[in-house]
Amino acid sequence: MKYAKMIGLGLLVAALAATGCSQQSSTPKAEPKKDAGKKDEHPPHGEGPNGGVIFDLGKYHAEFTVDHDKKECTILVVDGENEKAKPLPVAAKEFTLTTKETKTKEGKKVAPMTIKMLPKDESGGKASKFVGTDPGLGNVADFAGTVLGEIDGKPSQGEFKEEEHDDHKHEKK
């Protein structure tokens, strides 16, 4: 009888432990705030001086544009956030631009690209215009991606996104 009580007590403890564990995992956890851990995001920038999208590139602003006929894209470092922004030369040797997969208006898949962006207006070790080419840029699509590089010897990164494709936005003025 003594052993039966001990076995019964052991089974009861095991059952409670198993129930307690399953109750813990089914108890909803407090959800973190949606903005927790995110940087403060400011409103989107305006259209750039060449009709492209302005984005943050480290502590600077830059404009992303595409010339589909040349299969070429340009990153222009600028001193502002809109069409009145002027080129701003910075100490940078190159950038790496990586696009995400996208689709044309007609639904054709455009594969991700990694493009080396080299200075085109270098003077005194500084440049504001960086250009790269890739056959995929011949597709008329809304591109989004990341730009990585060093400005003034410090790592700089930015994310850009063209939105609501409109043919005139993709043509240089």
Neighbours of 90 (CB within 10 A): 21
pLDDT tier for residue 146 given thresholds of 50, 70 and 90:
very high
- For residues 114 and 99, what is the distance between their CA atoms, to the nearest angstrom? 7
Q: Is the pTM of this model over 0.75?
A: no
| 88 neighbors 77 (Cβ within 8 angstroms) | yes
Predicted pLDDT of residue 82: 87
For the segment 53-76, the average pLDDT, to the nearest whole number, is 97
Q: Which residue has the higher pLDDT, 132 or 27?
A: 132
Flag whether pLDDT at 12 surpasses 70.
Answer: no
Flag whether pLDDT at 68 surpasses 60.
Answer: yes
Predicted pLDDT of residue 31: 39
